[in-house]
Amino acid sequence: MALYTPLSDTELADLAGAFGLPVPERALPEPKGSVNTNYHLWAGGRRWFLRLNEGKSAEEVGFEARVLRFLEAQGFPSARLVPARDGRPFAEARGRPAMLFAFVDGEELERADVGPAHCRAVGAQLGRLHALAGRFDGARPNPYGWGRVEAWVRELLPDGGGDGEVRPWVPLLRDELGRARRLPDAPRGLCHGDLFIDNVLWSGTRVAALLDWEMSCVEAFAYDLAVVLLAWCYGSRFEPELAAALVAGYRGERELDQATADALYPFARYAALRYTASRIHAFHLAELGADRLAWKDWTRYRDRLQALREMGEPAFRALAGV
């Protein structure tokens, strides 16, 4: 999320009307993240979340809407998507599809506050999602698959995109890109694709909602689980107690099949590469100022990638208990 396309009060009022809401009493831009333009709106006595999708097609937005309708039907904790007055899952502003979500009360965790109970609860929700995936019949490849990551890395060749901080790490990125070209076959289904700490809202120790399904896709479950392990179980190092709790929570909702377990390490390395490259592209080399983009440190995922390379697969499997 970011503020790529600032909207005027008139434009926000027109969008609110497209969703059947009165003129907003208040609007607050949300600069966190890297992908879209977002606003918190207060209208009709309630709070809403408005996302202006940047660079996405109607088909991509339609897939996310289909996922959200599926989750709502299954009683899965997520934010309710509000349809536009014309029945579509989005309205349009500045030639971009805009989606409106009912605001979910809940608190975000800070990294320092994440404990084993949180990891167990998140693992359980991820396991439940994957267990439900067989009932979902939509199809969308991973929007951050190998081809897109390869394009990001290619932009950095041969000198780190002209950036002296990135330049020494180009050989590592190239090596990992080559290794990730052929990832293992493993069971696939509906995946969240980006289940970071700030994409989960909490009510006490209970998960109130999993947010931000725009990267949802049909992908190997090993990829989804690897993303969550990297996001939730690494501070300045991998933390075994957090990883054990997360995997235990997952297993409580879905059997961790052998093929998924065997694919977890290579997909973890790929996920670490993907977030290293995307953060260089979206943050480190970004043109938006700090007032419109909440910066994220690409070296955090470079460090995870280094740690995975150094520990090797046996130690990683021991860490995850697989």
> Tokens 């990829």 sit at which residue?
223
- List the domains of the chain with CATH numbers: 9-102 (3.30.200.20), 111-320 (3.90.1200.10)
Q: Helix, strand, or coil here: 50?
A: strand
Burial class from Cβ neighbours inside 10 Å (0-12, 13-18, 19+) for residue 92 reads: middle
Spatial CA neighbour of 96 closest among 137, 40, 49, 35 = 35
Identify the pLDDT of residue 56. 87
- pLDDT averaged over the chain? 93
Rounded to an integer, the average pLDDT of 243-253 is: 98
Query: pLDDT tens, 260-318?
Result: 999 999 999 999 999 999 999 876 665 555 555 555 789 999 999 999 999 999 999 99
Q: What is the pTM of this model?
A: 0.92
DSSP string, 169-230: GHHHHHHHHHHTTSPPP--EEEE-S---GGGEEEETTEEEEE---TT-EEEEHHHHHHHHHH
Q: Is the pLDDT of residue 117 over 50?
A: yes
303: number of CA atoms within 13 Å, CB side? 10
Task: Give 291's contacts (C-beta < 8 A, 6+ positions apart).
Answer: 3, 31
Identify the pLDDT of residue 296. 76
Question: CB of 205 within 8 A of CB of 212?
Answer: no
Identify the pLDDT of residue 1. 42
Spatial CA neighbour of 118 closest among 219, 223, 208 = 208
